[in-house]
Structures are given as structure tokens and as C-alpha cells.
Amino acid sequence: MPVLDVEACKSFVYANRIIADHFKATAQEVLEAVQTFEDTDTRLRLADLSRTAEERAAQHENLAELQERDMGVRCHCPNVAVRAV
């Protein structure tokens, strides 16, 4: 199926890559925080949260790749980890 608006599709690819980077950064931060807690239950919950964030990142990366495949071109969208301050 041809893409009618390539620029809009590239924007979605870019947005999905930014979201994926955000989830990757969150997963890394949570994983680092896990090591600061002594409580086993808290550590397990934080490790689970980190895995969930990694899974969400993978979902957005896959979505971006599918969008690129649908367009038939590779978007050269920069991967930028975006963190809210």
C-alpha cells in the first residue's frame, strides 16, 4: 500500500524512535535505582518496572521499523533520549 503522506509518516517514525529512547532511558534509570534498595520486594517490583519499560521501547522500535517498511524507505531519524525535567 503506497504511503500518501511520506512526511507525516516520517514524523510518526521519528516520534516512535523518541518514545523508544525515552523508555530505554527510563528502564536504565530504574535498573540503576534497583541496586540502591535493600528490600527484596521493592527490588523485584523495580526490576519488573524496568523490564516493562524495555518492552515498551521494543514495541515503539518495532512500530517505527514497520512504518519504514511500509514506506519502502529508511528514515534517518536521529535517536535522541528525551527526558522530562
pLDDT tens sequence across 25-71: 999 999 999 989 999 999 999 999 999 999 999 999 999 888 888 77
Contacting residues for 73 by C-beta, under 8 A, at least 6 apart: 6
Res 79 pLDDT > 60:
no
